Structure 1
Amino acid sequence: MRIGFIGLGNVGGKLSGSLIRNGHDVTVRDLDAELVASAVEKGARSADSPRTLMEQCDVVITCLPHPTISAQVVEGKDGLLEAAGPGKIWLEMSTTDEAEVKRLGAKMIATGAAAVDCPVSGGCHRADTGNISIFAGCDRATFETVLPLLTTMGRRVLHTGDLGSASVLKVLTNYLATANLITCAEALTVAKGAGMDLNVAYEAIKISSGTSFVHETESQVILNGSRDISFTMDLVLKDIGLFQEVADRAGIPLEMNPLMIRIFKDGIARYGAREFSPNIIRRLEDATGLDVTASGFPAEMVDDEPEEQGYEVTPPRG
């Protein structure tokens, strides 16, 4: 299967790297020439436009930072739609809006091609080793066609239902991760203010009912002081904003998410849109004068799980 990959940033570069590393036929496209050159050095080819990628490939994957960019790549001049047709698959791995992926997917399907919304979850360090989790929304036949690619890029793959369903679940999980990040920041700051040893506080949370994936990853880079999780405040705000849109369309009156949106808007106003998201704790550090750091924690997360072939996860049924 010939694979095109558009978007070689923090996540896309690692996902495409797993495909290249495992011997797949990959052609890449990115506006950053250095990222393209790096992928070519590893064994990929390059293409000069999304349309060219769709012409040359069976599956084209997009992994881009915002729905408006995906729309331009799909339906803009020299976009994917200009070369889409029977036998082609568009696989959207960006975190995007359910309504927008359905809109673009309908245009793709109208050409005779197939469309999949296919976001990932689990952190850049797991994307780097092919151990990230992947959601896939599409018909079952298309899912089975792309499953060998998904189990190369990820460890646990879940077929979520129709096109758009994966995007809903992705922003839902990012909402939960953001809530975890804010509460971890508050807990660690309170521990510091109460005179606790932060190394002990970290372990107490880790071995207790208070632990979470976010605590066991992002709390470590918070305490190190790097706050480097390869994810920025503007991306958090985009994701929880997309979650709010899903809730609004469903008529669900949320209380936590609007507060979280205000917190991250304030963080961006103070520290900049491209500040690492765990540095949301700086709002508390600035307010209290406390330094919430400790020795013995890594500056960035590294996945210590060995790379293994992924598999499909099946949900429990009654």
Structure 2
Amino acid sequence: MRVGFIGLGNVGGKLSGSLLRNGFELMVRDLDPDLVDQAVAKGATAANSPREMMAACDTVITCLPHPSISAAVVEGEEGLLDAIGPGKTWLEMSTTDEAEVKRLGDKVRAKGGAAVDCPVSGGCHRADTGNISIFAGCDRETFERILPLLTTMGRRVLHTGELGSASVLKVLTNYLATANLISCAEALTVAKGAGMDLATAYEAMKISSGTSFVHETESQVILNGSRDISFTMDLVLKDIGLFQEVADRAGVPLELNPLMIDIFKDGIDRFGARELSPNIIKRLEEATGLDVTAPGFPSEMVDDEPEEPGYEVVPTRG
């Protein structure tokens, strides 16, 4: 299987690196020539356009920051659609809108190709080691065909149903992660204000019913002061905005998510769209005059689990 990969940023660069590290023949494309050069130095070849890549590859993966960019890559001038046909697969690993991936997927399938929405979850540090989790929305036959790709890039792979289902679940899980981030920021700031030792507060949260994946990762870089989780406020706002759109289409009157949208809009107004997302705590630090940091915590997260072959996760019932 010859694979193409478009989008070599924080996540895409690591996912494509797993493919190269494990012997896949890979063609790459990114608007940043330095990122392309780095991939080529590791054994990839470069494509001049999405159309050229799709013509040369069996499967093309996109991992891009916004649905509008994916749309341009798929259906724009020299786009993937120009070369899609039977035996070709478009695999969308961006966090995107359910309705938009279905719209583009219908165009791909109308030309005889297959389409999969295939977002990842678990942090950039796990994408780097091939231990991230992957959702895949597509028909079962397509899923089984691409499973060797997915189990190379990720540890746990969940077939979520038809095209679009993975994107719904991805923005749902990102909503939960955002709620966890905001609550951890509040809890740590209250702990500081109440005179608690922050290392002790971190451990109390970790061993309690209040723990979460976000606490065990992002709280550490918050306390270090780096706040570096390789994710920015504009991306958080995009993701929870997409979750709001899913809720609106479903007629579900949310209360918490609109408040979180306002919190991150305020964070962007204060600190900039590309500010690291854990620095949402700066709103509280500025309001209180507190410095919510402590010695002994890492500046970035590193996955200390060895890379292992991935596997399909089968949903359980109870």
Identify the TM-score tier after normalising by the shorter chain.
Answer: over 0.9
Q: Residue in 1 aligned with 2:14? A: 14
TM-score, normalised to structure 1, is 1.00
Distance 2:42 2:34 in 1: 13
- Paired amino acid for 1:296: G
Q: Residue in 2 aligned with 1:146? A: 146
- 1:143, CA displacement in angstroms? 0.2
- 1:99, CA displacement in angstroms? 0.1
Where 1:94 maps in the other structure, the secondary structure is: coil
Per-residue CA deviation, residues 259-297 of structure 1 (Å, 9 max, x unaligned), is 000000000000000000000000000000000000000
Q: Residue in 1 aligned with 2:315? A: 315
TM-score, normalised to structure 2, is 1.00
- 1:316, CA displacement in angstroms? 1.0
Q: Residue in 1 aligned with 2:221? A: 221
Distance 2:257 2:317 in 1: 30
Where 1:190 maps in the other structure, the secondary structure is: helix
Distance 2:158 2:43 in 1: 29
Q: Residue in 1 aligned with 2:107? A: 107
Where 1:307 maps in the other structure, the secondary structure is: coil
Q: Residue in 2 aligned with 1:131? A: 131
- Paired amino acid for 2:96: T
Distance 1:27 1:54 in 2: 10
User: Which ranges of structure 1 fall in alignment gaps of 5 or more residues?
Assistant: none
Distance 1:301 1:39 in 2: 23
Indicate whether 1:163 and 2:163 are aligned: yes
Distance 2:42 2:223 in 1: 35
- Paired amino acid for 2:204: A
- 1:317, CA displacement in angstroms? 3.8
How do 1:61-210 residues align onto structure 2 when only pairs under 5 Å count? 61-210=61-210
Per-residue CA deviation, residues 40-98 of structure 1 (Å, 9 max, x unaligned), is 01111110000000000000000000000000000000000000000000000000000
- Paired amino acid for 1:200: T
- Paired amino acid for 1:169: L
Distance 2:40 2:306 in 1: 25
Where 2:144 maps in the other structure, the secondary structure is: helix
- Paired amino acid for 1:44: A
Distance 1:60 1:137 in 2: 16
- Paired amino acid for 1:65: P
How do 1:36-47 residues align onto structure 2 when only pairs under 5 Å count? 36-47=36-47
Identity %: 84
- Paired amino acid for 1:268: I
Q: Residue in 1 aligned with 2:58? A: 58
Where 2:218 maps in the other structure, the secondary structure is: helix
Distance 1:229 1:51 in 2: 33
Distance 2:154 2:44 in 1: 19
Q: Residue in 2 aligned with 1:306? A: 306
Where 2:85 maps in the other structure, the secondary structure is: coil
Distance 2:265 2:66 in 1: 17
**Large movers: runs of 4+ above 4 Å:** none
Distance 2:61 2:37 in 1: 18
- Paired amino acid for 2:31: L
Distance 2:22 2:43 in 1: 10
Distance 2:296 2:59 in 1: 44
- Paired amino acid for 1:309: P
Aligned length: 318
Distance 2:178 2:289 in 1: 24
Distance 1:317 1:46 in 2: 45
